[in-house]
Amino acid sequence: MPLNRPVSTYSMVAMDREQGLMGVAVQSHYFSVGSDVPWAEAGVGAVATQSILEVSYGPFGLSLMKGGKTSEEALRALVSADSNPEVRQVAMMDVTGRVSVHTGKKCIPEAGHEMGELFSAQANLMRNRDVWSAMAKAFRKSKGNLSDRPMEALEAGEAAGGDIRGKQSAAMLIVNLRPTGMPWKDRVLEIRVEDHPEPLTELRRLIRVYEAYRHADRGDSLRGGHSA
């Protein structure tokens, strides 16, 4: 695994068993963070790969978990094969809700993570060491669906200091826990803010728009039609 580009980032991996959903939410001072950091597959797990970015932790992590490894086993295997693990920050959650996180010793300060039941908050190149704990606290206190709760956590991270370089992009990816056999239905939500002065504000706005369209589509389905 070669060295890749630096992505100063804070992110969440999370699951809601009652809703049957899991996913990743992220903000960064980096163009189009949603293209590289968040990974998730229905029936398999979710991955956030960041810091000195090695994108392959995402697809390889999912592949290993799909093959039967736990999140801990998958992450350990990839870290042991990495020639520069000390600069990586990676969080993995398998479909059972087990979470494993690696924050390398040479991740640019401030860097760290906090795990909890069915979630993990991780961050690097932050203004202070309060960011990931603020995210974890906000997630524990939050209510609502799996798009609302990580959103509140990201906003808490920003309020606590956020990325020392500022902000540029954000993304959220949510998939079903149980695959339907139709991948286009299993990816429940995928929204990216590629480049914006207030990426979290824009991400929240787009999520509201998305939910409004989903409600409209349900109405169309009840009438026997579908709009596109």
pLDDT tens, residue by residue, 46-64: 999 999 999 999 999 999 9
Q: Is the pLDDT at 2 greater than 90, yes or no?
A: no
pLDDT at 1: 42
Tens digits of per-residue pLDDT, 4-49? 666 789 999 999 999 999 999 999 999 999 999 999 999 999 999 9
Grade residue 81 by pLDDT with cuts at 50, 70 and 90.
very high
**Average of per-residue pLDDT across 112-129:** 97
* Nearest 10 degrees: Cα torsion 133, 137, 143, 144: 0
Three-state DSSP state, 149: helix
Q: Which domains occur in the chain, in start order? A: 6-199 (3.60.20.10)
Rounded to two decimals, the pTM is 0.93
Cα–Cα nearest to 178, from 19, 45, 43 = 43
Please give the distance of CA 100 from its chain centroid, rounded to a whole number.
Answer: 13
Six-digit token pair at 12?
């969440």
Query: Rounded distance, CA 224 to CA 214, Å?
Result: 15
> How many degrees, rounded to 5, is the angle at CA 192 between CA 18 and CA 88?
85
Looking at residues 151-169, what average pLDDT do you find?
97
List, as own/partner pairs, every contact residues 177-180 make where C-beta atoms lie below 8 angstroms and the sequence separation is at least 24, other chains included: 177/15, 177/17, 177/20, 177/21, 177/22, 177/42, 177/43, 177/95, 178/20, 178/42, 178/43, 179/42, 179/43, 180/42
